[in-house]
Structure 1
Amino acid sequence: MADGRNTDSGGRRTLNLDLNIPYRGAATGSTHDATASASDIGTSNDQNEPVSQERKPSNLPLNVLPIKKRRRPDEEPISLENASQNPAGEQMPGPGSRRLPPEAYCFRKSLSSTAVSQDGRLYLSHQEAATIPCCPQMTEDTRDSFRKSTLMVFDGQDRQWSMVLTGYNYENQILYTLSGDWKSFVRTHGLSRGDTICFYKNHDPRVAAGYYYVMLFRKRIVQTTAVR
C-alpha cells in the first residue's frame, strides 16, 4: 500500500494530502501591519486576505496515514508539491501560499548574523515564542532544563519544513530557539543578515498538534551609491 507521501528534490518527505481548504469564516476589521504587508513578503504569497467561503475539513491528522478508499479520477488528492493546480487546471493555493487571515499572524523578526550562519539557529524572545500555540511551557525550576516541540512549517512555495522549537533555562532565564530545518530554510531562500521573516499559525484539526505554520520572508533592500 502506498504510504501517501512524496519526496521532494531535497530528499524531504511531504504528505500527499489535500490541504486546499479555505479558512473558515472571514475576518473583519483592519489587519496587523505585518499581515497587511504580506504582499511584499516572500515571493509567492500576495493574496493574504481573509476569505468567506467555507468547507468542512477532514478529521484526519496530517501525520496519520489513512486507508485510501477507491476514488474517481476527479477526486484524487492534490500533492503538496503540485498544489498550484487542481485536476481541472484551476489555480489552487497550498497551505503556504493560501490567503492568511489577520489572526494568523504570530511575529516578525529581523535576522541576525547568528541566525543565518552555517551552524546558526533562530533565537526567539519569550514574547515571540509565546505567540506559537505549540510553544513548550517552561518553568523557572532549574531542573526543568529544556523542552522541545516539533512544528510543521510551510514556506510561500508550499514546501514543507520540520522545525524544532526548544525552550531551555540558561542562567535563570528562559530562552527559545528554532532549529531543525531552519538552516536548510535559510540556505534554500538565500537569507542573509537584515532580512525579515514573518511567522503565521493556522489551526487545522488534521494536524496532531492542532496547528501548522507558515514562514514568509522579505529581503533587505540594499541601497547603492552611484560613483561618478
Structure 2
Amino acid sequence: MSARPALTGTGALLLFALRRDRVRLPVWVAGGALLVVVQSVAAQSTYDSPGSLAAYRASVGSNAASIALAGPPVGLDTIAGTVAFEMATPLAVVAALMVMFTTVRHTRADEELGRTELVRSTRIGRHAPLAAAAGVAALASAALGAAIGGGATASGLPATGAFVLGASATATGLVFTGLTALAAQVVSTARGVHGLVGAARGLPGAAGDRRRRGQRPVLGLSGGWAQASHP
C-alpha cells in the first residue's frame, strides 16, 4: 500500500476549521477595524487645525515612552499619520493574538482534547491539521488587513495609507502564524505554545531602549518593522 500524502484532507480540515471559527474570527476582524475607525474619528475631531497637530507632534516627538511603544514619529503632520502612529502597535498585537489563538486551537489544543487523534484515524495526511490551521490563520490575517484598510478609508483617511496600515497588520499576522506553527512543533502543550509565542512577541526587548537613545530600532519580532511602515 502506498504512503498517504502528507497534506491529504487539508482542504476539508480548513473548511471545517472556518466553520468552527465562524463567530470568533469575524469578531477579531471587526474589532480590529472598529479600533481604527474610532481612533480616526476621534483624531479628526481633536486635531482639527494645523496648530493642534503641531502641538501633538511636538509633544510626541519629545516623549521617549511614546516612541518606545509606538515606533518612530513619522507623518505626524497629518491626521492619517497620527492615526497610524497611535494604532500600529495595537493592531500588531490584535493580529498576533488572533493568529496565535487560532493556530493553537486547531493544533496543540485539539491534540490535548484527543480530536487530532480521531481525525488522523481517517484518510487525513500527517501534516494536514497543521497546514489547515496555518491556512485559517493566514486567511484571517488577510481579512483583518482588508477590514482595517476599508474601515480607515470609510472614516475619511486616504486610501493608500489606510491599506498600508492594513497590510502591516496582515504581515504581522502572517509572521506570527508561522512562528506559532513552529512553536507548536517544539512545545507539547497549548499553554506552552502561548507562553513561547508571547515571549517572542516582546523580542527584541532592546528595541525600545534603542529608540529612546535615538538609535536605529531593531526591526524584529517585536513588530518594529510594522510600526515603521508608511506610504
What TM-score range do you get, normalising by the shorter chain? Answer: under 0.3
Higher relative contact order (CA closer than 8 Å, sequence separation 6+): 2
Choose 1 or 2 for highest CA Rg.
2
If the length of structure 1 is used for normalisation, what is the TM-score?
0.23
Answer 1 or 2: which has greater helix percent.
2
